[in-house]
């Protein structure tokens, strides 16, 4: 009887031990499966094979990389700024693509500056940007016409275009709030001198007052450093260019003149600009009624012709307007 009771106890102990071992095995299996599920991409995500990813990145680099363009001095156009290029960072792009798990190519691009920069060239005026990019810069010289500025700013805002405004110091004194509105709207501010003098007829002291004094007026109001000088009526000499460079400024002219100060019809203004536009054009305008009415059509026509927009600050700093795509699908 005692032997039977002892066997029964051992049997129950063995059964309990077997049950505990089975539970341990189940828990271990559950943990392993959970870890595997965590490591495995969720359903519907894709991880590109390494060889396929390398092939697609090579194709993206071939399609979108651009070599930088050196700045140069041209016999006709004087100083022509360079243009930064683009290089695909393949290791960073591989990491970004594999981390995304969406089957798309995530490209990381690095801007490559020119070997010869505009800042290294002798002091020369700038009439245009480089022709290697299909972009234009819209410029407004402002000594009057404040009644039309709100309309111009509204159009530029609606069209998501940043322009460059060259402000007369005397005008800024009279209209500081409008000057602030221009700057706060994201547009670039340059100097148009003070009082619209002929820079060629100024003595050295007065020329310095025009360069430095106008900058002080503008910078006091808009709280931005001014590095661009548009001489009134485009009248300048080499003294002007060199004095501007001493102040850390570039002398800016134009290559496409709207002649809007003659008050043409809006259609005629647009046709004139389009007839003379070219890649790298600096388009000169003023705040006039025809300009305000023509600007929406002009922007649409330029875009339809394949142009993008950049500021004169972009031009002199050799920043491209066109960025390669950050994400490419399988069919891109």
Residue 290 contacts by C-beta under 8 Å, 6 or more apart in sequence?
Answer: 260, 263, 264, 265, 266, 269
CATH number reported for the structural domain that contains residue 194 in this entry: 3.20.20.370
In this prediction, residue 51 carries a pLDDT of: 74
Judge if 135 and 238 occupy the same domain.
yes
Locate 261 and state its tokens: 């100060």
Judge if 145 and 293 occupy the same domain.
yes
Residue 299 contacts by C-beta under 8 Å, 6 or more apart in sequence?
Answer: 155, 159, 161, 309
Q: What is the pLDDT of residues 265-308, one digit of tens each?
A: 999 999 999 999 999 999 999 999 999 999 999 999 999 999 99
In this prediction, residue 270 carries a pLDDT of: 98
Judge if 196 and 271 occupy the same domain.
yes
- 313 within 8 A of 95, measured Cβ to Cβ: no
Judge if 137 and 281 occupy the same domain.
yes
Task: Note if the pTM is more than 0.75.
Answer: yes
33 located within any domain: no
Judge if 176 and 304 occupy the same domain.
yes
Judge if 183 and 207 occupy the same domain.
yes
User: Per the structure, how many domains does the chain have?
Assistant: 2
152 located within any domain: yes
Judge if 74 and 134 occupy the same domain.
no
Closest alpha carbon to 164 in 38, 331, 316: 316
Judge if 104 and 152 occupy the same domain.
no
Judge if 241 and 289 occupy the same domain.
yes
Range of the domain at 77: 50-118+321-328
Q: Which residues of the chain have pLDDT under 70?
A: 1-50, 331-332
Q: How far is 311 from 187, CA to CA, in rounded Å?
A: 8
Q: How far is 252 from 283, CA to CA, in rounded Å?
A: 11
Closest alpha carbon to 312 in 120, 162, 150: 162
Q: What is the pLDDT of residues 229-255, one digit of tens each?
A: 999 999 999 999 999 999 999 999 999
25 located within any domain: no
253 located within any domain: yes
Judge if 87 and 223 occupy the same domain.
no
Judge if 104 and 177 occupy the same domain.
no
């Amino acid at each position: 009887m005692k032997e039977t009771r002892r066997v029964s106890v051992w049997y129950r102990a063995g059964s309990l031990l077997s049950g505990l071992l089975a539970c341990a095995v189940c828990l271990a299996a559950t943990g392993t499966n959970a870890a595997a599920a965590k490591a495995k991409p969720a359903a519907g995500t894709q991880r590109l094979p390494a060889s396929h990813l390398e092939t697609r990145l090579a194709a993206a680099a071939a399609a979108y990389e651009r070599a930088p363009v050196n700045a140069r001095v041209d016999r006709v156009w004087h100083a022509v700024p360079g243009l930064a290029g683009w290089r695909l960072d393949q290791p960073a792009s591989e990491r970004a693509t594999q981390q995304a798990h969406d089957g798309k190519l995530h490209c990381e691009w690095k801007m490559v500056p020119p070997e010869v920069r505009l800042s290294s060239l002798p002091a020369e005026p700038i009439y245009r940007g480089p022709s290697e990019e299909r972009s234009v810069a819209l410029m407004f010289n402002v000594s009057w016409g404040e009644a039309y500025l709100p309309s111009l700013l509204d159009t530029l805002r609606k069209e998501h275009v940043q322009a460059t405004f060259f402000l007369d110091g005397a005008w800024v004194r009279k209209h500081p709030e409008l000057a602030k509105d221009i700057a706060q709207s994201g547009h670039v501010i340059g100097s148009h001198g003070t009082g619209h003098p002929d820079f060629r007829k100024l003595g050295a002291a007065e020329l310095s007052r025009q360069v430095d004094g106008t900058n002080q007026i503008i910078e006091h109001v808009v709280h931005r450093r001014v590095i661009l000088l548009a001489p009134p009526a485009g009248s300048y000499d080499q003294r002007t260019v060199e004095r501007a460079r001493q102040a850390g400024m570039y002398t800016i002219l134009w290559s496409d003149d709207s002649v809007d100060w003659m008050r043409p019809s809006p259609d005629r203004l647009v046709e004139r600009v389009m007839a003379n536009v070219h890649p790298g054009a600096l388009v000169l305008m003023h705040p006039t009624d025809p300009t305000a009415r023509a600007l929406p059509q002009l922007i649409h026509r330029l875009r339809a012709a394949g142009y993008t927009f950049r500021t004169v600050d972009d031009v002199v700093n050799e920043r491209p307007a066109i960025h390669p795509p950050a994400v490419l699908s399988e069919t891109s």
